[in-house]
Structure 1
Amino acid sequence: MNKLGMNMFVWTMSMDEDLAETLSFLKASGFDFVEIPINDTNLAKWQQIGQQLADVGLDVQACTLCSHDYSLISSDASVREAGVNYLKSIIDCASLAGATILMGPFYAGFKVFTGRPATADEWKWSVEGMRDVAAYAQTKNIVLAIEYLNRFETYLLTCADELVRYVEDVNHPNCRAAFDTFHANMEEKNIGDALRKVAPYLVHVQISENDRSTPGKGHINLEEVFTVLKEVDYKGPIAIEAFGPNPPELAAATHIFRPMFESPEQLAVDGLAFIKKMNKRVIERKSEAIVS
């Protein structure tokens, strides 16, 4: 059975707030884990958060991204080196928090564009840097889950084909793939086929609607997603990712300025119920097919 989780972005970008009630609520609501954003390298902070999560009884995965200052595809070798070192520090923090997966689009600077396609050098720089980062992640028992984004947020990896090529080029057991339905909905001809392509490397799935609201309330064919996940025998974690008007700095980054849902708590409860319903429906359909 897949572990089901909730990304913390609807509450925080930093995990600096007092989230004790929220974490207890998520545990009581039936979530197995939370997906926490790690964007600073305060080791003591993340160790404390890891203990808090352990006390609540929630498993944890981590996510991060890189700014222009830490881009692995920068033409400046010192920036690329800084990016590798920064990601190693983030891995240290994720390990202290108890994470086994660090996911995200950290192969390039987030929302940093040149106005042209990625060059062969940019690809090579990112692959070489990520191979170094993956080797370090292995020493911390963390798997990197590389996430492709839509064309408005990056230009290095924007589809399943590119993601698979990237993972294969990095060629390290601790560099694997993540799949986010929001980005796939924008960039793929067929979400199911894209998921099948990524499946051999897949270690993390984010369920996110076309408008970043409650899973099941938008137009993405999530029943197809869960059908394919069952078809490829995916047993890894599945997290809900959504965004709302808060925190304000995240709303500005994601361009969400109207309410997407009644409350983060209601979104979490409804989203979890929807995922469980989808899983049950897919299992029942598979059983019926075997009987017939």
Structure 2
Amino acid sequence: MKSCVTIALVPQIKTGPWIYWNDLEASITKAATLGFDAVELFTASADAINPDRLTRLLDQSGLSLAAVGTGAGKVIKGLTLTDPNPAIRAEAVAFITDMITFGARFGAPAIIGSMQGNVAPGIDRDQALRWLSDGLNTLGIQADAQGVKLIYEPLNRYETNLINDLGTGTSFINGLNTRHVVLLADLFHMNIEESSLPESIRLAGSAIGHVHFADSNRRPIGLGHIAMAEVATALKEIGYAGYVSAEAFPFPTPDQAAQQTIRSFNTYFR
């Protein structure tokens, strides 16, 4: 397993579960100094960062790009894959497709979390799930064509009324036409929704393609009450070999949060 830390680069967003903020170069330098393997980026759009500059910074630091988040599509533009308006759904697919292309240049998958949307009032749940399925099928094909996976994230009940747990998520992606969509196991969301984090991980198995490393209160691991040793054991048992990425609040400060994260990662995985 490889360590990863998040960097938020969306000027419109002032708070949220990302460790480093705003300064790409300084954040990458700090991450490398602490011994992280990679960074995960949350950007306003696919063209918000010059890819040549990012290549240079990653090459200089020895870090990889683990994944790119797409949530700005919803936060800034109001786009989701389950909007009742077909024009908005098409725009959401286009936005995510651009993010897939950006990430694929670095071998990094795109993450679909908040852009999945919700079952809107007056819309049949099965219809909303069909729209989500259609979007993921289209985007999974796009990702495969560019040599990466597409990551789908079950969110807790307070953030979506679509799919909230790994078991439902596994069944859902297994029903897609594409085989190139994997699940994101976010420990914060799982703490709310799963009866047993380790058992849910074991049951999902190879469907898990990315892990978000945050404690029960969404602070860095070790600052809440998740039984991380049991979670780490389960991840090792399923042979998970991907990134363990700190999507957590920068508590008490970004630097201290990063230090706490890498200490915890080294404790459980190295």
Which protein shows a greater Rg?
1
- Equivalence map 1:115-130=2 (5 Å): 119-130=125-136
In the alignment, is residue 39 of structure 1 matched against residue 44 of structure 2? yes
In the alignment, is residue 271 of structure 1 matched against residue 261 of structure 2? yes
Whole-Å separation in 2 of the counterparts to 1:104 and 1:175 = 10
What SS is found at the alignment partner of 1:62?
strand
Whole-Å separation in 2 of the counterparts to 1:44 and 1:149 = 27
| Residue 27 of structure 1: how far off its partner (Å) | 0.5
| Cα distance change of structure 1 residues 7 and 118 upon mapping to structure 2, 3 Å threshold | farther
Aligned with residue 13 of structure 1, among 10, 15, 25: 10
What CA deviation, in whole Å up to 9, does each residue of 1:89-145 have, x standing for no partner?
11122234x142222315523xx5635896111111111111111111112212111
In the alignment, is residue 178 of structure 1 matched against residue 184 of structure 2? yes
- Equivalence map 1:103-118=2 (5 Å): 103-105=111-113, 108-109=116-117, 114=120
Match of 1:159 in 2: 165
| Residue 229 of structure 1: how far off its partner (Å) | 0.6
Q: Is the 8 A contact 1:38 1:90 kept in 2?
A: no
| Cα distance change of structure 1 residues 56 and 183 upon mapping to structure 2, 3 Å threshold | same
What SS is found at the alignment partner of 1:177?
strand
What SS is found at the alignment partner of 2:116?
coil
What CA deviation, in whole Å up to 9, does each residue of 1:67-101 have, x standing for no partner?
274221122222211111111111122234x1422
Which amino acid counterpart does residue 212 of structure 1 have in structure 2?
A: R
- Equivalence map 1:277-288=2 (5 Å): 277-280=267-270
Q: Is the 8 A contact 2:143 2:150 kept in 1?
A: yes
| Cα distance change of structure 1 residues 243 and 35 upon mapping to structure 2, 3 Å threshold | same
Which amino acid counterpart does residue 268 of structure 2 have in structure 1?
A: M
What CA deviation, in whole Å up to 9, does each residue of 1:201-227 have, x standing for no partner?
111111111112121121111111101
Which amino acid counterpart does residue 88 of structure 2 have in structure 1?
A: V
| Cα distance change of structure 1 residues 160 and 53 upon mapping to structure 2, 3 Å threshold | same
Aligned with residue 187 of structure 1, among 187, 190, 193: 193
Q: Is the 8 A contact 2:92 2:115 kept in 1?
A: no
What CA deviation, in whole Å up to 9, does each residue of 1:141-183 have, x standing for no partner?
1211111111111111111122112211224232111100000
What SS is found at the alignment partner of 1:8?
strand
Aligned with residue 77 of structure 1, among 77, 86, 98: 86
Stretch of structure 1 that moved more, 117-126 or 200-209: 117-126
Whole-Å separation in 1 of the counterparts to 2:172 and 2:56 = 34
Q: Is the 8 A contact 1:43 1:93 kept in 2?
A: no
Which amino acid counterpart does residue 7 of structure 1 have in structure 2?
A: T
Task: Name the % identity.
Answer: 22
Q: Is the 8 A contact 2:119 2:128 kept in 1?
A: no
Match of 1:22 in 2: 27
| Residue 274 of structure 1: how far off its partner (Å) | 1.4
What SS is found at the alignment partner of 2:39?
strand
Whole-Å separation in 2 of the counterparts to 1:17 and 1:192 = 34
Q: Is the 8 A contact 1:101 1:145 kept in 2?
A: yes
> Please, what TM-score do these two structures have when normalized by structure 1?
0.81
Aligned with residue 100 of structure 1, among 79, 84, 108: 108
Whole-Å separation in 2 of the counterparts to 1:225 and 1:238 = 12
Which amino acid counterpart does residue 184 of structure 1 have in structure 2?
A: M
| Residue 276 of structure 1: how far off its partner (Å) | 1.3
What SS is found at the alignment partner of 2:50?
helix
Match of 1:243 in 2: 249
> Please, what TM-score do these two structures have when normalized by structure 2?
0.87
Match of 1:147 in 2: 153
Alpha-carbon RMSD: 2.3
